[in-house]
Every structure is written in structure tokens, then in C-alpha cells.
Amino acid sequence: MRPSQRRPDELRPLRFTRGFTRHAEGSVLVECGDTRVLCTASVEARVPPFLKGQGKGWITAEYGMLPRATDQRTQREATKGKQGGRTLEIQRLIGRSLRAAVDLRALGERSITLDCDVLQADGGTRTASITGAWVALRDAVDGLLARGELASSPIHSQVAAVSVGIYNGVPVLDLDYAEDSAAETDMNLIMDGEGRFIEVQGTAEGAPFSREELDALLALGAAGIRQIQTAQRAALGQ
């Protein structure tokens, strides 16, 4: 039995609030149960030095957690003087996943920065960030299209993410914090709209996992991602 009483293959309630703040070109509050992440997309008419003059754009991401997004207050990374390894790992993952969905040449010499800031954490903040950031990215690009700054969309696929894991010996979908901290195995799946994998990251937190367990987790995650992608499209009014 899951702590949340959910069935093994049941997602948490998923909600997108577009336009959550007013300055960003895309601003989406994504809520997966009690996990709430504010994803903003900021468009800037310049690219990092390594891309200058190549006629290509760039998609990057930054991730942060408010100090009291968690049960125990965590130290603010700005006061520590650096981002931790976990933060860097997550923001590299978000950026990489969204770049997989965008034709950077079609974007032109522009950067879009996805800032994913966790207001409240209950497990799955990295997958929620990716899921929400894709919607914010869409809003930012739709704005560029609407203003005529782009003639066609450089986004060629849909991106969503979910976690799966083995909890009390049972493969379960979309782990919350109570499950995540006790899971034997934890896997994050990121997939495109055609059901192909953009990223697979499975970790044996406790005991190593067999090929059979891996297969069960992949199937569970793929089914969950299909539901999430339906919700993303609904949020965008499609």
C-alpha cells in the first residue's frame, strides 16, 4: 500500500497554471500533488560565447529550491557561495532534455533560459521541472511566433518526465517524498511525444535491480508519461 493510498500506476493530481507571474515570456506553475515548481522561460537576443556567430540559438536551464520548500530548512545556495552537485546535475538534465526537443538552428541567435524554482517539494521536483518547463517553453515560443519574430516553431517534439521506482518490492509510478526516501530503486524517465526515450536514469538506492524490474519500470513510466503529455496539451488548449 502506498502512503498516499494511490494505486501503483496512479499519478498524483497534475495541474498547470500558465501566466503565474507576469514578466517572463513563459511562466508556468506546475503542481504534482504537493510538489510545486515555478517554471519561467526567458527569451534573450544573445547566445553564449561558444555559439557566437553560428546562426544557432541555445536552451539552458537553472534550478533552485527555496530554503523552506522542504520539511527541514536547507541552506540557501546563494549564501553558501555555490550551487551544490545535486542542483548542477538537475539543471544540466533539464537543459539537455529540452534541447532534445528544439531545432537550435531554427531558433536563431536567441537564448531561452528555463528557471525552475521549487516553491514546495514533495518528491519528483526534477521531473516536474522538465514537464513544466516544456509548457513554459511553448508559451515563450508561441509569443515569438505571435509577434512575428519567428516564422515557424523550432520545437519539434513534446517532452515530459516522470519518476518510477520500486517501493516495498512493488514498481510504482510518480513517487512522492515518503516513497522516494524509502525506495530501493529510483528511475527518472524523460520521453518525447512519440514514446521514445530522451533520458533514462535508474539508480539502485538500496539493492541492485534485475532486468525484469527494469522492464516493469520502463512500462509503468511510459504509460505515466502518456497521461502527462495529454495534460500538457490540455493545458495549452490543444
**Residue ranges binding its own copies (CB under 8 A):** 21-24, 27, 34, 36, 38, 40, 42, 44, 62, 64, 66-71, 73, 76-89, 91-92, 96, 100, 113, 115, 117, 119-121, 157, 187, 191-192, 194-204, 207-211, 214, 218, 222
Least Cα distance to 221 among 8, 6, 4 occurs for 8
Using DSSP bridges, classify how beta strands 185-192 and 170-173 pair: parallel, antiparallel or unpaired.
Answer: unpaired
Strand partners, 65: 118
What are the grid coordinates assigned to 153, written together? 516553431
Considering the complex, state which of residue 70 and residue 153 has its C-beta at the smaller distance from its own copies.
70
Whether 1 and 19 have beta carbons less than 8 Å apart is answered as no
Considering the complex, state which of residue 7 and residue 88 has its C-beta at the smaller distance from its own copies.
88
**Amino acid at residue number 153:** S
165 known member of a binding site: no
211 known member of a binding site: no
Q: How many CB atoms lie within 10 A of CB 1?
A: 10
Considering the complex, state which of residue 7 and residue 207 has its C-beta at the smaller distance from its own copies.
207
Minimum distance from residue 57 beta carbon to its own copies (Å) = 16
126 known member of a binding site: yes
Alpha-carbon distance of 191 to 127, in angstroms, equals: 11
40 known member of a binding site: no
Minimum distance from residue 233 beta carbon to its own copies (Å) = 18
Alpha-carbon distance of 64 to 38, in angstroms, equals: 10
Minimum distance from residue 188 beta carbon to its own copies (Å) = 10
Annotated binding site for phosphate: 86, 124-126
